[in-house]
Chain A
Amino acid sequence: MATATPSPNWTEAEEADLLARMRAGDDAAFDRFVATLGPRLWTVVRRILRDEDDAREALQDAFLSAFKALATFQSGARLSTWMHRIAVNAALMKWRSKSRRSAHETTVDDLLPAFTETGCHAEPIPTWADRPDGASIRAEMGALVREQIQKLPENVRIVLVLRDIEGLSYEDIAQRLEVTPNAAKIRVHRARQALKTLLEPKLSQIQS
């Protein structure tokens, strides 16, 4: 799966020009770089970090790291892709430092489906309202979905954001969270199941 890179619609020539100007210390080039990518990356770090102050620090750290590393940036890669990776890493570094201090692993067992001793569904499966594939969802429903995602335990919420919203591969998630790829897959699966359970009573009331 491709990473959901924020795309500023720069051509390769524009990127090369911007890079050269930043390497030469051109203030206007830095202004453009931050003003263009900043809002997109702010959204990314806010998805990962619930706390606004943490997100501010992470985004600032990300840009300062990138400025220092401009000399080693490999032409051929896209600046926006590179910057997205740095921002995700900075946000996760902040997330990990917080979660180490505050949280133990929380399970979502109560939100997982139940089965009989013979392996059948123990309860009826709620029917989801029909929505056309690819249909956009209303703002009201979008806010509701984001609110339910925020209710997930941190160690579960984070993998859902990285995989299903930011589009990272399981290998990338595993590396960044220091777990095996298989553990990352299982955690993403649990996160989707838990979110499904949280959404079921809500989505029967709101149509897209």
Chain B
Amino acid sequence: MSCQRFMLLLHDYFVGTLQAGDRDFVDDHAGSCRDCGALMAVAKEISCEELVEFLNLYVDGELPADRRAIFERHLAICAECLEYLRGYRETMRVAKAAHAHEPEPMPPDLLRAILAARNPSS
């Protein structure tokens, strides 16, 4: 029951909207329950803001292994950051895909102009 209440309160704990009594409960429970304490430790490793700020380095595979592991632990427990990552990757994909077959043809007179400019005397 305590673990269930802890999980319910955890999001608001990090957002900063919990009343003092509930905050104390979350802190006390994390200190006494091994599993919930481990979850709390992961949640405190990095904020959502910090993860999003450096998300490009994660996506581009440029984070050192230890930093990458912290990102992955956060993504494993934070549905919002996971959804943000999904949308970020999808944005990259559709931006590229939208340019795969562009309909705009080269103006025919431009081709002739280029060839004429090569040899203006002819």
Interface residues on chain B, number (Cβ under 8 Å): 45
Partner of B48, one of A30, A46, A115: A115
In the assembled complex, A78 has its CB within 8 A of some CB on chain B: no
Partner of A43, one of B11, B56, B104, B107: B104
Partner of B111, one of A34, A118, A200: A34
A125-B83, A126-B87, A192-B92 are contacts. A137–B102 as well, Cβ < 8 Å?
no
Are B107 and A165 interface neighbours, CB within 8 A? no
Chain A contact surface mostly: helix
In the assembled complex, A119 has its CB within 8 A of some CB on chain B: yes
Supply 23 A–B pairs (Cβ within 8 Å), ascending by A.
A27-B119, A34-B114, A38-B110, A42-B106, A43-B99, A43-B106, A46-B102, A56-B110, A63-B118, A115-B52, A119-B49, A120-B14, A125-B87, A126-B87, A128-B86, A141-B98, A142-B99, A142-B100, A142-B101, A185-B60, A186-B56, A192-B95, A199-B94
Are A115 and B49 interface neighbours, CB within 8 A? yes
Chain B contact surface mostly: helix
**What are the interface flags for A97-138 relative to B under an 8 Å C-beta threshold, 1 for contact and 0 otherwise?**
000000000000000010111111100111110010000110
Partner of B102, one of A43, A121, A160: A43
Q: How far is the CA of A144 from the CA of B119 in the complex (A)?
A: 41
- B-side interface residues toward A, CB under 8 Å? 11, 14-16, 47-50, 52, 55-57, 60, 80-81, 83-84, 86-88, 90-92, 94-107, 110-111, 113-115, 117-119
In the assembled complex, A88 has its CB within 8 A of some CB on chain B: no
Partner of A195, one of B15, B91, B104: B91
Chain B residues within 8 Å of A189, by CB: 55-56
Contacting residues of chain A (55-70) with chain B, CB-CB under 8 angstroms? 56, 59-60, 63-64, 67
Q: How far is the CA of A127 from the CA of B79 in the complex (A)?
A: 11
**What are the interface flags for A14-25 relative to B under an 8 Å C-beta threshold, 1 for contact and 0 otherwise?**
000000000000
In the assembled complex, A49 has its CB within 8 A of some CB on chain B: no
Chain B residues within 8 Å of A35, by CB: 111
Are A64 and B118 interface neighbours, CB within 8 A? yes
